[in-house]
Chains A and B, each alone.
Chain A
Amino acid sequence: MQPMTTEQIRSLIAKGKAKDTIFQALGIFCLGLGLLVIFLLVGDMLLRGMERLNLEFFTSFASRRAGQAGILSAWVGSLLVMLVTGLAAVPLGVAAGVYLEEYAKRNWITDIIEINITNLAAVPSIVYGLLSLGIFVYAFGFGQSILTAGLTLALLILPIVIVSTREAIRAIPAMIREGSMAVGATRWQTCRYHIIPYAMPGILTGVIIGLARAIGETAPIITIGALTFIAFLPPVPFTEMSEGVSAGLFDWVMSPFTVMPIQIFNWTSRPDPAFEINAAAAGFVLMVMVLSMNAIAIYLRYKMRKNIKW
């Protein structure tokens, strides 16, 4: 083989560097494409739905006439379902996370639980819908209610809450536990007064990300048979429902409901293009909800990483 001249070596290096630059441009292009999709989506829905985005849109029920339809029952439904989801998923998820990190012994039962949580995260969300159709709707007799939807989504986001709880707990150094136990605290007292409070920001981040996922989930809620056309609100506690009957504190959980994503689905699947405007406006509202929840979570994590130094 001929030894290379300086010229040849220079051109070889230049070629390598050119390839680097081209790849770098490709990388930035792909990232930019992602960013572009977000902007295109939000922008398109804002422009298209602009004319419907007024107070009336938030305070009217769905209607057969596109111009008068609103998202009142949808956003109230989403809010209430999220309330049930949060109330179920947060205690369960945090307790499971604390158990796995602070209590569990290394044995086959723990292994099964851990493998399970990883696998559940990969199960398609529509399968959770089928689960709850079989269990909550028919076996438990909860029907197509806010309770059923909330519990379904709670099971769906449970792995997210558990994993973020575990990660937050794992970041707490052992000396905190040792210090607490050295002054006579029991295991639970250590968890209750030290581990859980210190892990709180991390847990909160996971909960917000989980709820942001849940609020946009459509498939499992359609699968349990939620209605797409709801022109009333769940009963407010202690108000009169019908002649002489006032609603109990928890009557709303058994009420039929609709949620934002279902409302959007309903409007996009209608042939009349007038409803596309409604879909765009409702989609914009949903995007603002989801993106701001995610942004809060990202900000919280960023803050946490900066502030905490053990």
Chain B
Amino acid sequence: MSSNNASDLHQVSDRLAKNAMRNVTERLIEFVLFAAAAVSVLTTVGIVYVLVSESFHFFQNVSIVDFLTDTQWTPLFDDAHYGIMVLISGTLVSSGVALLVAIPMGTIIAIYLSEFANGKVREIAKPVLELLGGIPTIVFGYFALLIITPLLQKILPELPGFSLLSAGLVMGIMIVPYIASLSEDAMRAVPMSMREGSYAMGGTKLYTALHVVVPAAISGLAASYILGISRAVGETMILAVAAGMQPNLTWNPMEPAATITSYIVQVALGDLPHGSIGYQTIFAAGLTLLLITLLFNIAGQWLRRRFREAY
């Protein structure tokens, strides 16, 4: 009897040891998984660290006032000027053109898909939009330079071979899928009963869409526009290919100009030594770009909270 008891005890302690071991493994695995999730935070920390530390060196040589107010951007010349406004103007003009295309088109498509189209049309349209959104930007750049620019030159003969206009137009088409699909999601989330109320009062589909659904979904629409702006501001290859890369302080979309992003590409293609001031300019430009997108994102979040309607 007692020997039996001993073996029982032995078994129990074996099992306890195994359980303890199992707990250790479980803890270890949880830690590994947590570490993987923490990589995203490390990425952000890395981005901020790299941009700020390199820009810090840059601003030791160039005053921030000059950086913000100078009207020339010639960092690679002997007579170097560092006026970021030159690059910002190109970025804002091309983004403006893009949004003039993308916001109306994206919104119309979203309203059509959520309020008018039947299930079958939606089944086809959504993948088409997704494919359009998946086209590499370098291919869009090719499209802008070799197809859209010659087409536009037939209408506007004085348009140069590189222009913010054609790059902006194509950028707009690139952004349409993002705006359309996010806006559609926002409008589909509006409860059916609100539409039914409008229909019951004799509202037509379009009237209901514009006066009931759109106002109810406005925070979602605003969020999609903000995302569109971020995309436009950060877009690189279309501008590098089709907008020319010479710095040009202009508000005229018919002119060629460099943007923040295409300037970074231009420098990266060259052979600037690591640590030189020319090399540091791309980090200062990158920091400016990140701050602009951050600004828009904060504005978007504020808009969303301000106009959020909960049902």
Contact = CB atoms under 8 A, between A and B. Distances in A.
A30 B173 CA distance: 10
A188 B36 contact: no
B109 to A, nearest CB: 5
Contacts of B53: 134
A122 B175 CA distance: 13
B265 A223 contact: yes
Interface string A35-49: 101101100110000
A99 B142 CA distance: 41
A290 B134 CA distance: 7
B286 A127 contact: yes
A209 interface: yes
Contacts of A33: 105, 173
B163 to A, nearest CB: 16
Contacts of B268: 129, 133, 222-225
B158 to A, nearest CB: 21
Contacts of A92: 36, 39
A112 interface: yes
A240 B109 CA distance: 57
A20 B297 CA distance: 35
A10 interface: no
B293 A123 contact: yes
Contacts of A188: 25-26, 29-30
Interface string A97-128: 01110011000000011001101101111111
A131 B50 contact: yes
Contact of B113 (A27, A112, A280): A27
Interface string A117-160: 10110111111111101110010000000000000000100110
A35 B128 contact: yes
B283 interface: yes
A277 to B, nearest CB: 11
A44 B142 CA distance: 11
A130 B50 contact: yes
A54 B176 CA distance: 35
B33 A103 contact: yes
A31 interface: yes
Interface stretch (B74-82, B213-221, B226-234, B303-311): B226-234
Contacts of B138: 216, 218, 261, 264-265, 268, 283, 286
A16 B112 CA distance: 16
Interface SS of chain B: helix
A41 B147 CA distance: 9
On chain B, which size bracket covers the interface? 35 or more
A73 interface: no
Contacts, number: 257
A162 interface: yes
Nearest to B105: A30
Interface stretch (A64-72, A175-183, A242-250, A291-299): A291-299
Given A31-B128, A124-B233, A186-B22, A276 B207 contact: no
A129 B135 CA distance: 20
B204 A265 contact: no
Given A92-B39, A122-B293, A158-B43, A287 B139 contact: yes
A212 B206 contact: no
B130 interface: yes
The 7 closest A-B pairs by CB, nearest first: A124-B234, A216-B136, A27-B112, A134-B50, A95-B36, A99-B33, A219-B236
Interface of A: 16-17, 19-20, 23-24, 26-28, 30-31, 33-35, 37-38, 40-41, 44-45, 91-93, 95-96, 98-100, 103-104, 112-113, 116-117, 119-120, 122-131, 133-135, 138, 155, 158-159, 162, 186-188, 209, 212-213, 215-219, 222-225, 228, 261, 264-265, 268-269, 276, 279-280, 283, 286-287, 290-291, 294-295, 298
Given A124-B261, A124-B290, A162-B40, 17 more contacts: A16-B207, A20-B204, A24-B112, A30-B108, A30-B112, A34-B129, A38-B128, A95-B32, A95-B36, A113-B40, A122-B230, A127-B47, A127-B289, A265-B237, A265-B241, A268-B138, A298-B130
Interface of B: 22, 25-26, 29-30, 32-34, 36-41, 43-44, 46-47, 49-51, 53-54, 105, 108-109, 111-113, 116-117, 125, 127-132, 134-139, 141-143, 145-147, 173, 176-177, 204-207, 209, 227, 230, 233-237, 240-241, 261, 264-265, 268-269, 274, 282-283, 286, 289-290, 293, 297
19 contacts: A20-B206, A27-B109, A27-B117, A28-B112, A31-B128, A35-B128, A40-B143, A99-B36, A103-B34, A122-B297, A123-B290, A130-B50, A131-B50, A134-B53, A218-B136, A224-B268, A261-B136, A280-B146, A290-B134
